[in-house]
Amino acid sequence: MATPDSEGFVRSFARGLRVIEAMGRTGAHTVSSVAQDTELPRTVARRILLTLCELGYACPTPDKGFRLTPKVLSLGLTYLTSQPFWGHAQRVLETVCLQLRESCAVAVMQGNEVVFVLRIPSAKVMSPHLGMGSRLPAYATAPGRVLLAYQGAGYQDQYFSQTPLRPLTGQTQTDPAELRHELARIAQQGHAWVEGEYDAHVSGLSLPIYDERRKVVAALGASLLTSDFDRARAEREILPSLRAAAEQLSGLAPSFLAPVL
């Protein structure tokens, strides 16, 4: 494996990817802001931005900033469409969303966050800032807790040592010992319920998705209004459909989706 200090590591390519990731976040993007977000010198950030513009992946804005162009989608869509799992997962997600009339998503772990790789919103929980590629804190969300629950003790130790547990609402659990206890319960019962910990008005119910070796690599979840569902009702009315959908996806999910810190 190439490391930043090895001959096989292409530093300029890595820097370009860091700039693309930084520009994928919300907010204005200037040479200064990109340099700050990526911890790159301003001159390096500027050269990368100009290169992205020349290649068509970015363009200048009237306020002397920069933004990504739709061409950048080709980088991710090529990857997604090359995997048979994604088309199947899209159909399964559409079906379960139609049945439940609730927002549903498939998520994976990336670093200490969960990332939506598929998401279909409902009219109830639209969350305009959430969609494919959105990143959420794992400790405060149902998909994140599912993915954490099925990892080994070493992975969990590293996660809690590296992740600031900040209160996002008045309900957010930030005690590592309590979270570890909850993760053990999730692994035993097979699903996670999180109520108002990331968004005070939204609860989440999530289950694991397995690869062909029965290793948990992703999570399927539904977002529910806390005013509509308590835990008992969600487990009674939502869980069976989610479980059936997760079973349709398990065994087909590619192993490279597995969490890596």
pLDDT tens for 57-79 read 888 888 888 988 867 766 766 66
Which residue has better confidence, 196 or 122? Answer: 196
Per-residue pLDDT tens digits for 223-257: 999 999 999 999 999 999 999 999 999 988 877 77
Compute how many other C-beta atoms are within 10 angstroms of the C-beta atom of residue 75.
11
44 Cβ contact list (under 8 Å, min separation 6): 15, 35
For residues 240 and 230, the answer to whether their CB atoms sit within 8 Å is no
**Average pLDDT value over all residues in the chain:** 88
Return the closest-CA partner of residue 135 out of 96, 98, 163. Answer: 163
Spatial separation of the C-alpha atoms in residues 79 and 115, rounded to whole Å? 15
Element of type H or E holding 137: strand 135-137
Q: What is the mean pLDDT of residues 2-7?
A: 60
Confidence at residue 3, expressed as pLDDT on a 0 to 100 scale: 57
> What tokens appear for 70 in the block?
């739709």
Confidence at residue 168, expressed as pLDDT on a 0 to 100 scale: 97
